[in-house]
């Protein structure tokens, strides 16, 4: 029986050694994968930082925010940010509101784009430069 126990003990030791080696290999592979992920993340962060730094002339946060508050009902802030379709929508609602201003409905049509402009202007001015750039210039989020 002692021979059987020795065989079982030897087999257990071999299995343990194999498991230990497999764990080492897996750990090394995980370290390599983590290193690759780290390099990719750093590269992406560097690209983002470069894009943000080079966006000095492109970041129109203050201009768009002030125009949205002052003349947002005309949709000028949308044209500044490059959202032509949305700017035309606001402008056309305003023009229709002016035409229909002798009727009560025209007043409501003038309030809608004005309120949208006020809200968007406040949102633009309260966001950080980085958040504004990511949301409205990179992400192209047209409304609010």
Instruction: Identify whether residues 82 and 37 lie together within a single domain.
Output: no
User: Region 110-134: what's the mean pLDDT?
Assistant: 88
Instruction: Identify whether residues 80 and 101 lie together within a single domain.
Output: yes
Instruction: Identify whether residues 71 and 127 lie together within a single domain.
Output: yes
Query: Does 85 fall in a domain?
Result: yes
- The pLDDT value recorded for residue 60 is 83
pLDDT at 130 over 80: yes
User: DSSP character for 103?
Assistant: S
Instruction: Identify whether residues 50 and 73 lie together within a single domain.
Output: no
pLDDT tier, 57 (very low <50, low <70, confident <90, very high otherwise): very low
Instruction: Identify whether residues 35 and 93 lie together within a single domain.
Output: no
Instruction: Identify whether residues 65 and 134 lie together within a single domain.
Output: yes
pLDDT tier, 53 (very low <50, low <70, confident <90, very high otherwise): low
- For residues 142 and 124, the answer to whether their CB atoms sit within 8 Å is no
Instruction: Identify whether residues 2 and 48 lie together within a single domain.
Output: yes
Instruction: Identify whether residues 35 and 101 lie together within a single domain.
Output: no
Instruction: Identify whether residues 78 and 33 lie together within a single domain.
Output: no
Please, which residues have CB within 8 angstroms of residue 72's CB and are 6 or more apart in sequence? 90, 113, 114, 116, 117, 118, 120, 121
pTM exceeding 0.75 = no
pLDDT > 70: percent of the chain: 81
How many domains does the chain fold into? Answer: 2
Query: Does 143 fall in a domain?
Result: no
Instruction: Identify whether residues 46 and 103 lie together within a single domain.
Output: no
Query: Does 124 fall in a domain?
Result: yes
Instruction: Identify whether residues 29 and 84 lie together within a single domain.
Output: no
- For residues 80 and 63, the answer to whether their CB atoms sit within 8 Å is yes
Its domain, for residue 44, covers 1-54
Which carries the bigger pLDDT value, residue 12 or residue 74? Answer: 74
End position of a domain, from candidates 38, 54, 70: 54
pLDDT (tens digit per residue) in 16-36: 778 778 778 877 877 887 777
């Amino acid at each position: 029986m002692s021979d059987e126990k020795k065989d079982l003990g030897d087999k257990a030791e071999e299995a343990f050694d194999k498991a230990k080696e497999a764990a080492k290999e897996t750990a090394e592979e995980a370290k390599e994968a983590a290193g690759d992920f780290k390099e990719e993340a750093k590269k992406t962060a560097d690209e983002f930082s470069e894009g943000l730094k080079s966006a000095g002339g492109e970041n129109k946060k203050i201009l768009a925010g002030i125009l949205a508050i002052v003349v947002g009902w005309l949709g000028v802030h949308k044209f500044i940010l490059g959202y032509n379709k949305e700017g035309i929508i606001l402008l056309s609602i305003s023009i229709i509101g002016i035409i229909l201003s002798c009727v009560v409905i025209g007043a409501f049509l003038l309030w809608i784009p004005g309120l949208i402009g006020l809200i968007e202007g406040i949102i633009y001015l309260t966001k950080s430069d980085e958040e504004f750039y990511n949301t409205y210039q990179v992400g192209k989020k047209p409304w609010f």
